[in-house]
Amino acid sequence: MAVPAFSDISKASNDVLGKDFYHLTPVSLDVKTVAANGVTFTAKGKSSGDKLSGNLETKYADKKNGLTLTQGWNTANALDTKVELADTLTPGLKAEVVGSVVPDKKKDAKLNLTYAHQAFTARTFLDLLKGPTVNADFTAGKDGVTLGGTASYDINAASVTKYAFAVGYKAPDYSISLSALDNVKLFSAGYYHKVSPLVEVGGKATYDSKSSIANPVALEVATKYQVDSTAFVKAKIADSGIASFAYSQDLRKGVKLGLGAAIDVLKLNEATHKLGVSLSFSA
Per-residue pLDDT of the chain (283 residues; tens, 9 = 90+): 779 999 999 999 999 999 999 988 899 999 999 998 889 999 999 987 778 899 999 999 998 889 999 999 999 999 999 999 999 888 999 999 999 999 888 899 999 999 999 899 999 999 988 778 899 999 999 999 999 999 999 888 889 999 999 999 999 999 999 999 999 999 999 999 999 999 999 999 999 988 777 678 999 999 999 999 999 999 999 999 999 999 999 999 999 999 999 999 888 888 889 999 999 999 8
Which distant-in-sequence residues (6+ apart) come within 8 Å of 85 by Cβ?
A: 66, 67, 68, 94, 95, 96
Q: What angle do CA 209, 160, 125 make, to 5 degrees?
A: 105
Single-letter amino acid, residue 71: Q
Which distant-in-sequence residues (6+ apart) come within 8 Å of 56 by Cβ?
A: 41, 42, 43, 72, 73, 74
- Torsion from C-alpha of 94, 80, 260, 191, nearest 10 degrees: 30
Single-letter amino acid, residue 40: T
Phi, psi of 104, deg, nearest 5:
65, 15
Burial of 235 (0-12, 13-18, 19+ CB in 10 A): middle
Class of domain 6-282: mainly beta
Cα Rg, the chain, nearest whole Å = 21
Do residues 73 and 56 make contact, with C-beta atoms less than 8 angstroms apart?
yes
pTM of the model: 0.87
Rounded Cα–Cα distance for residues 28 and 56 (Å): 14
Cα 246 → chain centroid? 18
